[in-house]
Chains A and B, each alone.
Chain A
């Protein structure tokens, strides 16, 4: 399956993402999940960026937290809008998971 997951928390309370095995995985960082894209702890990027996945971060939720694309610490994370999410859901993935 081609699965796009929505990560909306900075501290995850479930380990489901570790165990999903889709043939294609997308990770959309939204709400407080955007901090995975922008924040280093003790100099280290979030371990959530270590999956084999396509990464996206929601522009509106970055900006709402005083952040911009310039704060994204890893080039593999693409800044997107709600419209882009719709296109990803319909064109790139067949299932979704809000974790």
Chain B
């Protein structure tokens, strides 16, 4: 059995580009990657929002209502539903005057068990070190 770990680092706000959405949809695709792998092999994806990228996590996004597009918030929730580790940098949230009450933290309403983890940047550094490959968005 072999495991490859990929770290998706989102460092820019969304909607001016596809970056934040594609980071999440690609990470969520780890749920079906086994069709390309041998039995017991796996790809695990962690997602971290850092810098201006934390602004993607503000809750109550009405992108669907205004632009007929799925919101980044909905993709974060789908990631949680798929049991991805999703980190948000604590220092960057605080820099913008935001706290856990301002951002999407769980996916309880769609049956997700995982929570977003607001962590110091040092923990995100540790996650990056544990990954086999990094993808910056």
Q: Do A and B come from one complex?
A: yes
CB pair B121–A19 under 8 Å, yes or no, is yes
- The reply to whether A14 and B125 form a contact with Cβ atoms under 8 Å apart is no
Identify the A interface with B (CB < 8 A).
1, 3, 13-16, 19-21, 95-99
Interface residues of B in 12-66 (CB under 8 A from A): 12, 50-52
B interface size (C-beta, 8 A): 14
Contact between B136 and A15, CB atoms less than 8 A apart: no
Cα distance A15–B136 in the bound complex, in angstroms:
12
Minimum distance in angstroms from B73 CB to a CB of chain A: 22
**Given A14-B12, A16-B11, A95 and B52 touching (CB < 8 A)?**
no
Q: A16-B11, A16-B50 are in contact. Are A97 and B133 (CB under 8 A)?
A: no
Bound complex: CA of A9 vs CA of B129, how far in Å?
25
Query: Which residue of chain B has the shortest Cβ distance to A95 in the bound complex?
Result: B134
A1 touches B129 (CB 8 A): yes
List, in ascending order, chain A residues with CB within 8 A of B133's CB. Answer: 95-96
Contact A13 B12 (CB under 8 A): yes
B-side residues, CB < 8 A to A, are 9, 11-12, 50-52, 121, 125, 128-129, 131, 133-134, 136
Q: Is the interface of B mostly helix, strand, loop or mixed?
A: mixed
A-B contact pairs, 8 of them (CB 8 A): A1-B129, A14-B12, A14-B52, A16-B50, A16-B51, A20-B125, A97-B9, A97-B136
User: Which residues of chain A have C-beta atoms less than 8 A from B51's C-beta?
Assistant: 14-16
Q: Which residues of B contact A21 (CB under 8 A)?
A: 125
Q: Which residue on B lies nearest to A98, using beta carbons?
A: B136
Q: A14-B52, A95-B133 are in contact. List 13 more A-B contacts (CB 8 A).
A: A1-B128, A1-B129, A13-B12, A14-B12, A16-B11, A16-B50, A19-B121, A20-B128, A21-B125, A95-B131, A96-B134, A97-B9, A97-B136
